[in-house]
Amino acid sequence: STLKADGQLTVFAPTNAAFESLDRVLLDRLLSGDPECLLKVLKEHVLPNVICSTVIQEKAKSRNILNNYLNLTRTQDDKVFVNDAQVVRADVMATNGVIHVIDAVLIPDDALDLITTAKNNGLTELVK
Protein backbone atom coordinates (compact mmCIF):
# COMPACT_ATOMS: atom_id res chain seq x y z
CA SER A 1 0.00 0.00 0.00
CA THR A 2 1.02 3.62 -0.55
CA LEU A 3 1.21 4.46 3.14
CA LYS A 4 3.59 1.57 3.88
CA ALA A 5 5.90 2.32 0.94
CA ASP A 6 9.50 3.35 1.38
CA GLY A 7 10.08 7.07 1.38
CA GLN A 8 8.82 10.00 3.35
CA LEU A 9 5.20 11.13 3.06
CA THR A 10 2.86 13.80 4.33
CA VAL A 11 -0.68 12.59 5.01
CA PHE A 12 -3.62 14.91 5.58
CA ALA A 13 -5.99 12.71 7.61
CA PRO A 14 -9.63 13.85 7.84
CA THR A 15 -11.48 13.49 11.13
CA ASN A 16 -14.47 11.16 11.44
CA ALA A 17 -16.67 14.26 11.55
CA ALA A 18 -15.21 15.36 8.21
CA PHE A 19 -16.34 12.11 6.59
CA GLU A 20 -19.75 12.34 8.28
CA SER A 21 -20.30 15.81 6.78
CA LEU A 22 -19.70 14.64 3.20
CA ASP A 23 -22.51 14.77 0.68
CA ARG A 24 -24.59 11.60 1.21
CA VAL A 25 -24.31 10.52 -2.43
CA LEU A 26 -20.52 10.77 -2.40
CA LEU A 27 -20.23 9.10 1.00
CA ASP A 28 -22.44 6.22 -0.17
CA ARG A 29 -20.30 5.89 -3.31
CA LEU A 30 -17.10 5.73 -1.24
CA LEU A 31 -18.54 3.24 1.26
CA SER A 32 -20.39 1.08 -1.28
CA GLY A 33 -17.26 -0.25 -2.82
CA ASP A 34 -16.33 2.04 -5.71
CA PRO A 35 -12.62 1.22 -5.30
CA GLU A 36 -11.39 3.62 -8.00
CA CYS A 37 -13.20 6.59 -6.46
CA LEU A 38 -12.08 5.66 -2.94
CA LEU A 39 -8.45 5.28 -4.03
CA LYS A 40 -8.48 8.70 -5.73
CA VAL A 41 -9.90 10.34 -2.60
CA LEU A 42 -7.32 8.64 -0.38
CA LYS A 43 -4.41 9.57 -2.65
CA GLU A 44 -5.60 13.19 -2.80
CA HIS A 45 -4.53 13.39 0.88
CA VAL A 46 -0.92 12.17 0.38
CA LEU A 47 2.16 14.18 -0.56
CA PRO A 48 5.31 12.34 -1.71
CA ASN A 49 7.47 14.36 0.68
CA VAL A 50 7.45 15.52 4.29
CA ILE A 51 6.07 18.96 5.03
CA CYS A 52 5.94 19.89 8.70
CA SER A 53 3.54 22.66 9.62
CA THR A 54 6.33 25.03 10.68
CA VAL A 55 7.61 25.36 7.10
CA ILE A 56 4.24 26.56 5.82
CA GLN A 57 4.44 30.35 5.76
CA GLU A 58 1.69 32.38 4.12
CA LYS A 59 0.84 30.55 0.84
CA ALA A 60 2.45 27.64 -0.98
CA LYS A 61 1.50 24.80 -3.32
CA SER A 62 2.58 21.19 -3.29
CA ARG A 63 1.70 18.31 -5.60
CA ASN A 64 0.13 15.19 -4.13
CA ILE A 65 0.72 11.66 -5.39
CA LEU A 66 -2.08 12.13 -7.97
CA ASN A 67 -0.03 15.04 -9.36
CA ASN A 68 -2.74 17.52 -8.28
CA TYR A 69 -1.75 20.74 -6.56
CA LEU A 70 -2.81 21.31 -2.95
CA ASN A 71 -2.83 24.86 -1.60
CA LEU A 72 -1.06 25.17 1.75
CA THR A 73 -1.78 28.32 3.74
CA ARG A 74 -0.87 29.78 7.12
CA THR A 75 -3.16 32.63 8.13
CA GLN A 76 -2.15 35.70 10.10
CA ASP A 77 -3.77 34.17 13.18
CA ASP A 78 -1.46 31.12 12.74
CA LYS A 79 -4.05 28.65 11.43
CA VAL A 80 -2.89 26.19 8.78
CA PHE A 81 -5.09 25.10 5.88
CA VAL A 82 -4.77 22.62 3.03
CA ASN A 83 -7.16 23.85 0.35
CA ASP A 84 -10.24 24.72 2.45
CA ALA A 85 -9.58 22.18 5.21
CA GLN A 86 -8.13 23.43 8.48
CA VAL A 87 -5.35 21.49 10.17
CA VAL A 88 -6.73 20.70 13.63
CA ARG A 89 -3.74 18.66 14.81
CA ALA A 90 -0.34 19.13 13.19
CA ASP A 91 2.92 17.23 12.98
CA VAL A 92 2.04 13.75 14.19
CA MET A 93 5.33 12.04 13.40
CA ALA A 94 5.48 8.51 11.94
CA THR A 95 8.42 6.35 10.86
CA ASN A 96 7.89 7.24 7.20
CA GLY A 97 6.53 10.75 7.39
CA VAL A 98 4.14 13.15 9.10
CA ILE A 99 0.36 13.27 9.59
CA HIS A 100 -1.75 16.41 9.84
CA VAL A 101 -5.35 15.91 10.98
CA ILE A 102 -7.80 18.06 8.97
CA ASP A 103 -11.45 18.99 9.41
CA ALA A 104 -12.62 18.24 5.85
CA VAL A 105 -12.17 15.57 3.20
CA LEU A 106 -10.16 16.59 0.11
CA ILE A 107 -12.06 15.46 -3.00
CA PRO A 108 -10.34 15.48 -6.41
CA ASP A 109 -12.58 16.66 -9.27
CA ASP A 110 -12.28 13.32 -11.05
CA ALA A 111 -13.91 11.58 -8.07
CA LEU A 112 -17.03 13.74 -8.42
CA ASP A 113 -19.97 13.40 -10.80
CA LEU A 114 -20.28 15.77 -13.77
CA ILE A 115 -22.88 18.06 -12.20
CA THR A 116 -20.87 18.63 -9.00
CA THR A 117 -17.62 19.15 -10.93
CA ALA A 118 -19.32 21.71 -13.20
CA LYS A 119 -20.77 23.61 -10.21
CA ASN A 120 -17.41 23.58 -8.39
CA ASN A 121 -15.79 25.14 -11.45
CA GLY A 122 -18.41 27.87 -11.91
CA LEU A 123 -20.08 26.16 -14.88
CA THR A 124 -23.72 26.65 -14.01
CA GLU A 125 -25.04 26.69 -17.58
CA LEU A 126 -24.31 23.96 -20.08
CA VAL A 127 -25.56 25.82 -23.15
CA LYS A 128 -26.62 29.42 -23.58
Type of residue numbered 3 = L
**What is the predicted pLDDT for the residue at 25?**
80
**What's residue 114's pLDDT?**
63
101 contacts 87 by C-beta, under 8 angstroms: yes
Question: How do the pLDDT tens digits run along the chain, 128 residues long?
Answer: 556 666 799 999 999 999 999 888 888 878 887 788 888 999 999 999 999 999 999 999 999 999 999 999 999 999 999 999 999 999 999 999 999 999 999 998 777 666 666 666 677 665 55
